[in-house]
Every structure is written in structure tokens, then in C-alpha cells.
Amino acid sequence: MQSVQPKKSHSLSSRSIISNLLLVVASAGLVVWSGQLIKTRVTSVISRDAIINGVLIDLKTPAPGIVDQLSLKTGDIVTESLAIATLKNERVSKLSSQEIISKINEHQAEIEAETAKLNRLKTLLESVKLERQNQLHLATQHAQESVEQVASDLKAAQAKLHLAQLDYKRTNLLAEEGALPRAVLDKATLEMREQQAIVESLEAKLAASKTNQNATKLDLSLNLSRSGYDPTIRQQEIQMDIDEQKYKIKTLQKMLNSARSELVQAQADLGRQVKVAVNSPTQGVIWRLVAQKGKYLEEGEIIGQVLDCKRRWVDVYVDEQAVRSLQPGTPASVELYGSTSAKLEGRVSLVRSGVGRLAAGEDVAIPVSPNLPRNTQVRVELDPNANKGSANLFCYVGYTGRVTFQVKD
């Protein structure tokens, strides 16, 4: 009995050492975990659930037509300029031909109307030219008659002046000899001076008449016609209208020739099927397709959408107290709940506070409940080269996850 008791004491001692070691290891692990937790709390901000979002680009038909072929389906990866669908627009070619024929008829009618107007302007121009010639002839004749009349009056006045001068000389001689009184001499002197003034006036009038005659010969007369306008100016105006009309007809003729060329091309297209491709505007994944083979689509109609996997983001809401640690450019990582291995990286691009408590631009205060969560919207732009996953995952758009922001100590 005495020999068994030491073994039992030894066994108890071994168990006590193992228990102490386990306790020390557990304590050390707890300390390390606590340190990591404190460090995480200090150097990072963790958000609530967030959802991955992305840019959807509409696929629009460049021209109307019937869907002839759909080469892809929802979830397929596409590259830029890859043909997604093909349209036949034979119906459009027939309609286009009818429109072009209507355009040609319209241009022809316009040309005929403008040509008729041009002919009327030419007729009017000839009439104005004739009126101008008649006016110039009459003005020249009138100027000539005016010169001749003034010259005749001047010649008569010069003759009367000559007689007045002779009468003055005789009267002056007799007055000096005392045969005539002084009053008779004064009268003769006055008559001679009056005749001399008349001659000088007629000489000036004759010079003016000759100047007017020369101006008339050079077509510089400013006299108006009986209708109250200057034919020269009117002729210039009509000539400008004619030049403008010719240019308009020339332009219409070019448009007519262009329409005829279009008609020839459209008629040539009627003999074969004209196909139009709907290409992808960017690299990404087919998000959805709504078109079906054989369906007629108008120009600009949407046949589906492409998800641009290079432009993805996450909108999350964090506690308002954490905003001071976040700013544009802060690194962030997204751990997806739907995939244990997927992790996306990005950076903060937008911080918007007052969500649910502010109506921007309004001057009416919104009552805030004391228990209302004070959250801030934070947008994280994901790296364009971030993990996109397989095609059937749609670049993880729609997946939820948890966002962790790496803030400075």
C-alpha cells in the first residue's frame, strides 16, 4: 500500500503541469487575439453589408431592320466591337427608295419655280435697261437743249449790252458838251450795267449747263425717272437678284444630282439583303438580351445591355463617427459573402453625410429622432483590374460583402 501512493502523487503532478501549460497557451492566444482586434479597430473601419454595382450600357440598333442572327446570349463575355446581333433592312431600302424619289420630285419642283422666277427677273432687267437708255437719251437731249437755250439768251443779252454801251458813249459825249442833262447819262449808265450783269449771269448759267451736259453724257445724272426711282440703281439691284437666283438654282441642281445618285444606290440595294451589325461598345459581359430572331426593330431601339466590368463600385453605409477616418483615396477591400476566395480591392471616391436627415437645398429643418442611426454613405470605386470571376458570375455585380477600410494609425 505504501509503494502505490507515490505513483498517484506523481500522476497528479503531471496533470497539473499540463493544465498550467494549456492555461498559459490559451492566455497567450487570448492576448494576441485581443491585440489583433484592438489593432484592427484602430487601423481599420468595417462597414455593414454592401452590394457590388456596375455600369450597364444599352445596346441600340444603328438602323431599323429585322433581327436575323443573335450570336451571343446572356452571360457571355464580349470584346469591344464584337458583333452581338445582325439586322436585315431590306424593308428599309424600299422605304428609303420611296423617300429619295419624293425628295427628287421636290427638288425638281423647286428648280422649276426658281427658274421661272429667274426668267421674270431677266425680263424685268431688260425693261429696266431700256428705260435707262431712254432716260439717258432724254437727259442728254434736255441738257443739249438747255445749253442751246442759254447760249441763245446769252447772245441776245450780249447784243443788248453792245447797244447799251454805244448809247452810253453817245450820251456821255453829248452830256460833256452840255447838250443833254446829267440824268440822261445816269440812266444810260444804269442800263449798260444792268445788261452787263445779265450777260455775266447767262455766262455762268451756260457754264453750268455745259457741265450738266457732260455729266449726262457720262451717265452721272441724278435726275429721277417718271416712276420716281433711278433706273441705274434698280438695274444693279435686279442684277444682284439674278446672280443670287442662279446660285440657288445651281445648289438645287447639285442636291438633285446627289438624290439621283442615292436613288441608284438604293435601287441597287433592293437586289440584295443589306445587313447591319449591332456591336458591343466595350469589353464586358452580356447582362441581358430582349431581342428575338425575326423581330422588327426601329432605329435606336434597345436590344439588351452590356455590363462594363471595368467600372464597378460599392456603396456602403458606415457610422458617422468613422467619417473622420475616411477620405477620398482611402484603400478598401471587399470580402464577398457568396465566395470565400473572392476579395476585391478599391479606393474611396465619395463620402456623403446626412443620409436620411438632410434634404439638400431646402431651408426646412428635418426633425431627427434621438434613436435614428447616423450613417454616412461611402462609395468605393473598385480597381478596373480587380477579380472578375467567371463569366456566369457577371463580374460579381449584385454580390454582397463586407468592406474594410484601411485607415492610418
Examine residue 124 and state whether it is found in any structural domain, yes or no.
yes
Written as nine digits, the cell of 296 is 422588327
Over range 182-206, report the average pLDDT. Answer: 84
312 shares a domain with 193: no
172 shares a domain with 68: no
Using one digit for the tens of pLDDT, what is the confidence trace for 267-280?
776 656 567 888 88
Using one digit for the tens of pLDDT, what is the confidence trace for 143-160?
788 888 888 888 888 888
216 shares a domain with 115: yes
287 shares a domain with 222: no
Confidence band for 40, pLDDT divided at 50, 70 and 90: very low
The residue segments making up the domain with residue 138 are: 95-256
347 shares a domain with 329: yes
Examine residue 9 and state whether it is found in any structural domain, yes or no.
no
163 shares a domain with 202: yes
Report yes or no: 83 and 277 within 8 Å, Cβ to Cβ.
yes
103 shares a domain with 68: no
Examine residue 116 and state whether it is found in any structural domain, yes or no.
yes
Higher pLDDT, 143 or 33: 143
Examine residue 276 and state whether it is found in any structural domain, yes or no.
no
pLDDT at position 166 is 86
Please name the residue ranges forming H helices in 218-337: 231-270
Confidence band for 337, pLDDT divided at 50, 70 and 90: confident
pLDDT at position 100 is 84
| Cα separation, 396 vs 47, whole angstroms | 19
Exposure of 92 in the CB half-sphere (CA atoms within 13 A): 16
Examine residue 267 and state whether it is found in any structural domain, yes or no.
no
Examine residue 306 and state whether it is found in any structural domain, yes or no.
yes
| Cα separation, 54 vs 287, whole angstroms | 11
Candidates 87, 71, 86; CA nearest to 286 is 71
Report yes or no: 53 and 312 within 8 Å, Cβ to Cβ.
yes
Examine residue 8 and state whether it is found in any structural domain, yes or no.
no
Q: What is the CATH number of the domain that holds 144?
A: 1.10.287
Q: Please give the radius of gyration of the chain, using alpha carbons only, rounded to the nearest integer.
A: 55
99 shares a domain with 180: yes
Best-predicted range by mean pLDDT (89-93, 286-290, 387-391): 286-290
241 shares a domain with 117: yes
225 shares a domain with 104: yes
pLDDT at position 28 is 65
Q: What is the CATH number of the domain that holds 73?
A: 2.40.50.100
Q: State how many domains the chain has.
A: 2
Examine residue 269 and state whether it is found in any structural domain, yes or no.
no
